[in-house]
Structure 1
Amino acid sequence: MASTYSFDVVSDFDRQELVNAVDQTIRDISSRYDLKDTKTTVELGDEAITVNTDSEFTLEGVHDILRTKAAKRNLSQKIFDYGKIESAGGNRVRQEIKLKKGIEQEIGKKITKIIRDEFKKVQASIQGDSVRISSKSKDDLQVIIERLKQEDFPVALQFTNYR
């Protein structure tokens, strides 16, 4: 039996679920009355989703559909980072929605600070774009997971490699 237990705090999303959500969004756009004739395109790239449509009003409609489809597939709304709306010529607008993945250094520091301040017998270390938390007690780790769920971080947190 191991003398210490640990888990990783990461920020990630299921790529296949995102692909499915974008596909469903495209299908909905082609069948919805108010969006049908707008020649709206939604393209999923490696690190962003690009939306090209008629107006800011139809862009908001596309956002609503995308958010709804993502929520139904258990994807956090925090993975979407909406860029600024730019003109795409011919009275059209384009927006890039970046996909957030990984815990930034500042957020990692906040997580480790919370753990250092509130849990004296627990170690937290930043490892790239994740935070490893280890302790001799599984109960402490459970309490930490619940504590981190209470905080409102600007990224979606998942807890992996619990051992």
Structure 2
Amino acid sequence: MPSFDIVSEVDQQEVDNAVNNVLKEIETRYDFRGVPTELTLSKKDNTLSLVTGDDMKIKAVRDMLITHFTRRKVDSRIIDFGEVEGTSKGQLKQQVKLKEGIDKDTAKKLVKMIKATKIKVQAAIQDEQVRVTGKKLDDLQEVMTLVRNCDLDMPFQFTNMKK
């Protein structure tokens, strides 16, 4: 029986490239001269750590991150900005999480949405992905179109297509 998986994955290499491009831009920008700014990527935790001088600089780095992610074809909806906190040196820091995987609530919404269309497919939640199986490839393609057009504020990819 044909099937595919709906997943939400992050291309780590492209994220790394985007962060490096942001760091290069920070070095060349005039408004960041004399202001120590750190942007570090933790691939293990899927987080970014941002430390800079003031609130305006944090907003500028945030905009640069979104711009460079978009240029590298990484969906900017994976970025989850945390709270801005003060440091002991008078600077500001912010944790940025990169969302990967489909959480249980979103998976349940996906399954419910697929079942509501009355397309003859079965959708099942498996860890951080949703597996969709059906008898016809046309039905599976219809589900793909449905998922692409839904507004669940999360990027989805389709993997493991079996005929």
Equivalence for 1:90: 89
Q: 2:120 is paired with a residue of what secondary structure?
A: coil
Q: 1:107 is paired with a residue of what secondary structure?
A: helix
Equivalence for 2:54: 55
Which runs of 5 or more structure 1 residues have no equivalent in the other structure? none
* Overall identity of the aligned pairs, in %: 34
Provide Cα deviations, 1:57-97, integer angstroms capped at 9, x if missing partner: 00011111111111011101111110000001222000000
Superposition map of 1:65-144 within 5 A: 65-144=64-143
Equivalence for 1:31: 28
The whole-number CA distance in structure 2 between the counterparts of 1:43 and 1:88 is 16
Aligned residues: 160
Q: Is the 8 A contact 2:119 2:139 kept in 1?
A: no
Q: How many Å apart are 1:135 and its aligned residue?
A: 0.6
Amino acid at match of 1:51: L
The whole-number CA distance in structure 2 between the counterparts of 1:89 and 1:105 is 38
Q: TM-score, normalised by structure 1?
A: 0.95
Amino acid at match of 1:18: V
CA RMSD of aligned residues (A): 0.9
The whole-number CA distance in structure 2 between the counterparts of 1:36 and 1:10 is 41
Q: TM-score, normalised by structure 2?
A: 0.95
The whole-number CA distance in structure 2 between the counterparts of 1:66 and 1:35 is 15
Q: How many Å apart are 1:120 and its aligned residue?
A: 4.0
Amino acid at match of 2:50: V
Does residue 14 of structure 2 align to residue 17 of structure 1?
yes
Q: 1:42 is paired with a residue of what secondary structure?
A: strand
